[in-house]
Structure 1
């Protein structure tokens, strides 16, 4: 076992061995645990999570109105029917996950307030040694495991992205990022400026508008939105016919995927027409004459960034009522009273919310080493977007950016990993490692995601830190559920993977 440096204050508590150690008890971690328990019941596993409870994003995000921006028929698990409205609040999602933990008896496998900080692979022992900190006490614990299943998501839960603007120290009010929301923040009858234009802004503005004196959205550039009632007419009809819930869930998933595929194809083939339709859809909720061509007319093509869904058009209803307004401009600097834009308009505020995005965190920010040599994942090539060349017995669940919800990929990654584990058993192998083949000598190394296809700010800021992909299978991360849902089950598990 590798020796690991301890904190000056003391010892590392040895916590024993599990066959599979899952990092994260959110959607992906629970999905992985379900699949292991159901399809490989002889394997021992444990989930470690830094938060004080399950749910990941849905526990760490507590800002007003927090809700999904994907429908729960696809964001929910394929094996657990969703019975609520398509777009759900964080509380509803946590209640759904709570049911899953009870129904599948998974609580016994989870340990909370445990932050993994280091993982060391020993080729001699053919296992990982994981060092984790118990956040409640500061004590360090060591676990060993044959396989690490990374399910902690892709961004820094502890710190969101806030640009450095000139004069921020001069502002006399409070600046807060949605990821660092305080429960005691009082915004009643106060002027609020929300800087940002994405899904978080679309969520937080209508939630605050009813109590705040006024909410102003300050955006550098607009975002595409789809506004529609928060209901699924097909699902409601099927529910009225007393169709079994699992049938309804499966039909709803297929219908949502089909609709999404048609939308994306239309955006790619006819971007100008789709742009006009999306802007017109927003205009339906706003007063006649409202200048959507300034405030809701993005510079990029539809689906180069994710299109946010606005349930019941609540964001636009707030704007129409006068409770909220939109300013499209650049920030010149902060003042004592608020923000001065480049056009010379001063937006006065008691509270400024920097809904300016995420900081991406590669594999949870954990320090990985192989026999003492630190792993730089940006120099690895990803096997199907989930395992990495030269790194044994490790996978990272990374969901879809654009073509489907996160959970759709979590499901098929879990299914593929079960196949890989069974294949290892058939071979009598303890170690699986992706390795470039002899025929890959002329492989073209490409970024994790093509910026021409998908280019949100949080990805562009950190793309250089991410693993790479290649120009051929199995080194392509397709970012496409219809393709991967077919290619994963058909994958030759001896192509690109080595066993010993």
Structure 2
């Protein structure tokens, strides 16, 4: 493959045109308007997750008022929306904000090398016409947290060897898959499984959600935009207020669950019990073994999950898989689930950095070996930021704090005539590692050896909540545990 290059140097290159990359681009062009930036996207379209995932009913697992941008509020009359609506919102926002013209589609970043001598990143980028080299002073990774190329392999005995039906992973849903009249078993109990069940039940003969252990499920009224606020205030103002109310609601819910786990458990389980069909027991199907928010609470808009159970089109089984036969799943409780199709909704495979081969002076670095400075930069890695969302709130709020922090840092560097910045632990300081995502979910536990970690003190600590983190991003120290280098004369 022919390789071409250019000596032109960009001020900032952002990798990824999903919700993280678009947010970063907005803040860069707004706060550093004279900076030259590019946004590189490996796919043909904008949207990231919302352009990739195609499984039936794909939707957000948090409300769109906080998942959308604060600078361009979500203005549809529903809190949780489908993937197509989210992708269209991102496209419209990028065009309206002038970001679209900065995007280079079908530009997949393969490698990035930092030169200490030149104080530049050199990116190797794969395009339709060959590989090119691009240069930038600062690199922002808006590549999300999961692997776009490979799913998390489900550890199910005999699935690939014995089962003769259709096996599907939600991340790679076939475009023309027909499951009409099929017996479908969804393996998993997270947000994806809870989204899939009511949507598959519309066509399948029957859908079973098979889980090893249950999760907390909360029904919400999905209609927004009809309150007295919307009758009194201009549309844009009213939806901004909706965003603030949803932010506070999630924070209050999360902290209440943490402070009063037994009361929270009773409230959540009590609401579920009222929506179950007669004869369906709470235990073991809807009584989680963990405390609320040790794993994420799953939302079902307008209770569509429970409606499917009420109609008899679907049911839940709680057991471990013992073995697979050609047309059924054998459980450790002695039951056998007949199946024409198995959907492995068991989580996503973590991948920070989108498989970009990152080197410093041609020496490979492992991102998982690094502590994260303010959950936005990496220990001993110059001029590089990555976008990471919350586990107890929407992804976008976490990205927002990182964007504010990074742009403030870039302005500081410009003012002081610095060419590079490196997060660095104080010499001789002993840091205790903490997970960057403190969730008890199996797929998160499996990923701990492959993602950066936080520390237990100072700017190395993980995030707490949006309002605290936003204050730190805007007004906290911009120099602690950072090493700056001046522009060479």
Length-normalised TM-score, structure 2: 0.95
Equivalent in the alignment of 2:218: 226
Q: Does the aligned pair in 2 maintain the 1:61–1:179 contact within 8 Å?
A: yes
Alpha-carbon distance in structure 1 between the residues aligned to 2:359 and 2:83:
36
Equivalent in the alignment of 2:171: 179
Alpha-carbon distance in structure 2 between the residues aligned to 1:73 and 1:254:
8
Equivalent in the alignment of 1:141: 132
1:15 to partner: Cα distance: 7.9
User: Residue 491 in 1 paired to residue 483 in 2?
Assistant: no
Alpha-carbon distance in structure 1 between the residues aligned to 2:321 and 2:57:
26
Q: Does the aligned pair in 1 maintain the 2:327–2:340 contact within 8 Å?
A: yes
Q: Structure 1, unaligned stretches of length 5 or more?
A: 1-8
Alpha-carbon distance in structure 2 between the residues aligned to 1:248 and 1:466:
39
Q: Does the aligned pair in 2 maintain the 1:14–1:143 contact within 8 Å?
A: yes
Equivalent in the alignment of 1:432: 421
Alpha-carbon distance in structure 2 between the residues aligned to 1:68 and 1:167:
32
Q: Structure 2, unaligned stretches of length 5 or more?
A: none
Equivalent in the alignment of 2:207: 215
State the Cα deviation string for residues 383-425 of structure 1 (Å, max 9, x = none): 10111121000000101011x2111121221111111111001
Q: How does 1:163-312 map to 2 (within 5 A)?
A: 163-168=154-159, 169-232=161-224, 236-241=227-232, 243-312=233-302
User: Residue 102 in 1 paired to residue 87 in 2?
Assistant: no
1:470 to partner: Cα distance: 2.0
State the Cα deviation string for residues 286-312 of structure 1 (Å, max 9, x = none): 223421221111111100011011001
Q: Does the aligned pair in 1 maintain the 2:251–2:465 contact within 8 Å?
A: no
Identify the match of residue 455 of structure 1 among 437, 440, 456. Answer: 440
More moved, 473-482 vs 17-26:
473-482
User: Residue 336 in 1 paired to residue 326 in 2?
Assistant: yes
What SS does the corresponding residue of 2:73 show, helix, strand or coil? coil
Equivalent in the alignment of 1:118: 111
Alpha-carbon distance in structure 1 between the residues aligned to 2:12 and 2:96:
21
What SS does the corresponding residue of 1:284 show, helix, strand or coil? helix
1:450 to partner: Cα distance: 6.9
Equivalent in the alignment of 2:430: 443
Alpha-carbon distance in structure 1 between the residues aligned to 2:200 and 2:322:
25
Size of the aligned set, in residue pairs, is 483
Equivalent in the alignment of 1:465: 450
What SS does the corresponding residue of 1:363 show, helix, strand or coil? coil
Q: Does the aligned pair in 1 maintain the 2:381–2:422 contact within 8 Å?
A: yes
Identify the match of residue 88 of structure 1 among 81, 100, 113. Answer: 81
Equivalent in the alignment of 1:47: 39
Q: Does the aligned pair in 2 maintain the 1:64–1:207 contact within 8 Å?
A: yes
Alpha-carbon distance in structure 1 between the residues aligned to 2:348 and 2:137:
32
Equivalent in the alignment of 1:391: 381
1:479 to partner: Cα distance: 4.1
Q: CA RMSD in A?
A: 1.6
Q: Does the aligned pair in 1 maintain the 2:434–2:456 contact within 8 Å?
A: no
